[in-house]
Amino acid sequence: MNRSATIATEGAAAAPFYIEQGDEIALFEAAAANDLPVLLKGPTGCGKTRFVAHMAAQLGRPLYTVACHDDLTAADLIGRYLLKGGETVWVDGPLTRAVREGAVCYLDEVVEARKDVTVVLHPLTDDRRILPIDRTGEEIEAAPGFMLVASYNPGYQNILKTLKPSTRQRFLALEFDFPPPEAEVEIVARESGLDAERVRPLVRLGGKLRALKGQDLEEGVSTRLIVYAATLIAQGMKVDRAVEAAMIEPLTDDADVKRGLLDLVTAVFG
């Protein structure tokens, strides 16, 4: 396995906390019941990965999560021959293990991977549900329960990093966005341990920062970063310092933009 590939494996476990925003749970369950692949679209930090972990646990299926990047190759997903104890042995990659075991394989930010990765996915995303492995001569039929899930942030990708229509049209697609304010307050309070009344101004500030996306900021603040700020405050850090560290500094390196954002913080918190 290429060391640059980031892979997490989880067995079926208790479902992590997740608040449904629409009918995404029912759609995902229907896709799982009918062996349909799913594409999740939405901004960074809006809950896509948490949703997949929640659904895999709800369905009682192991989950293989692959953080895609521009060095990720098809071999990283499928597997490769490695030298062990003086002999060459084949070692399955995470996609192959998921196919064999009937697990959920989640490719996070799939458009960041090399183009050969999407080609490998094609026979798994139609009625064949097979994974050909050229190096071993195998053609693995997906075990019952196997499900392919991929995600990306369409607002962040440039023209060179988009999914081809021939790939997109192999997936059901679910669009995600940041939760409504009251739901986000509940999520942040639950994750950070900070009282909901103290969380509300953080969420209100988050909404104002998101409104600046495409103007002063490339990306709005994520729910994840709001949780970070609330966690720091719950641990006793002063609000202004926690907000600066968790919700301002991660968004920009431009000194003038940071000053403007800090003025916005003052307007919200007084």
pLDDT of residue 65: 97
pLDDT of residue 115: 82
| Element (DSSP H or E) covering residue 266 | helix 255-269
Helices (H), 3-134: 24-33, 48-59, 74-78, 94-101, 115-121
Kindly report, residue by residue over 58-84, the tens digit of the pLDDT. Answer: 999 999 999 999 899 999 999 999 988
Over the Cα atoms of the chain, what is R_g? 21
Residue numbers in the chain where pLDDT is lower than 70? 1-13, 155-161
19-32: burial string, b at 16+ Cβ within 10 Å, e else:
bebeebeeebeebb
Cα angle at 140 between 138 and 144, to 5 degrees? 165
Per-residue DSSP letter, 112: G
pLDDT of residue 157: 52
Model pTM score: 0.87
pLDDT of residue 116: 84
